[in-house]
Amino acid sequence: GDSVTQTEGQVTVSESKSLIINCTYSTTSIAYPNLFWYVRYPGEGLQLLLKVITAGQKGSSRGFEATYNKETTSFHLQKASVQESDSAVYYCALGITGNTRKLIFGLGTTLQVQP
Amino acid sequence: EAAVTQSPRNKVTVTGGNVTLSCRQTNSHNYMYWYRQDTGHGLRLIHYSYGAGNLQIGDVPDGYKATRTTQEDFFLLLELASPSQTSLYFCASSGGNYAEQFFGPGTRLTVL
């Protein structure tokens, strides 16, 4: 089957410190899935943070980066210096295309940035 | 202007009640989805559709029906609501070459 694992349910980081949120995936449906990070700020809906379609490539947005690593089946989210406004829930997702088009989500990681 | 809208944004009903959640997209996408989001479970797919009149079963379909009346409109129906269906519901649409989805703002449903 297909699955996404985010090992941390909640992460607390001090402002200006670095961040890494782990994401690994497993798939039997597709050899080269699309990979996504979505974010949900308090009181808002989900919005796309970044996506990477090609293995080995890096995506970036708003200071966040993630590299699609097919060897380790990972897509970790990183930021060098977080801000209080980054406090949100972050979801890693695996995209299946072809006859069926679906996103498989991880459970989400709540990031709390302390001033 | 928002491309995926949901109504109502908040809904309170009683056990056994009948609820319809509405979703409209103006992205001209073929695919539309209904999810529920619960603490500790992430987003779970209820039903989805790849066009008007089409319906596909998702991962947690029990207790839910859905109907896609047009390319733009996708409805989620709870005919006998139960407290276990208290949740935050998201609608999304998808089109183009990749699996990227665009989400609505969510509907918070409370079943008393």
Contact B66, B58 (CB under 8 A): no
Smallest Cα distance from B47 to chain A, Å: 11
Q: Locate tokens 């090992």: which residue?
A: A7
Residue A74 pLDDT exceeds 80: yes
| Whether B50 and A96 lie within 8 Å, measured CB to CB | no
Digit-coded pLDDT (tens) for B55-95: 999 999 999 999 999 999 999 999 999 999 999 999 999 98
Digit-coded pLDDT (tens) for A2-28: 899 999 999 999 999 999 999 999 998
Measured distance CA(B38)–CA(A47) in Å, rounded: 17
Interchain contact B61–A (C-beta under 8 A): no
Amino acid letter for position A63: G
DSSP B30: S
| Whether B99 and A96 lie within 8 Å, measured CB to CB | yes
Q: Any idea how long chain A is?
A: 115
Q: Locate tokens 């060098």: which residue?
A: A80
For the record, the structure tokens of A92 come out as 């890693």
The mean predicted confidence, pLDDT, of chain B is: 94
| Whether B48 and A106 lie within 8 Å, measured CB to CB | no
Residue B97 pLDDT exceeds 80: no
Which residue, B12, B27, B20, B39, is CA-closest to B104?
Answer: B27
Residues of B in contact with A100 (CB under 8 A): 56
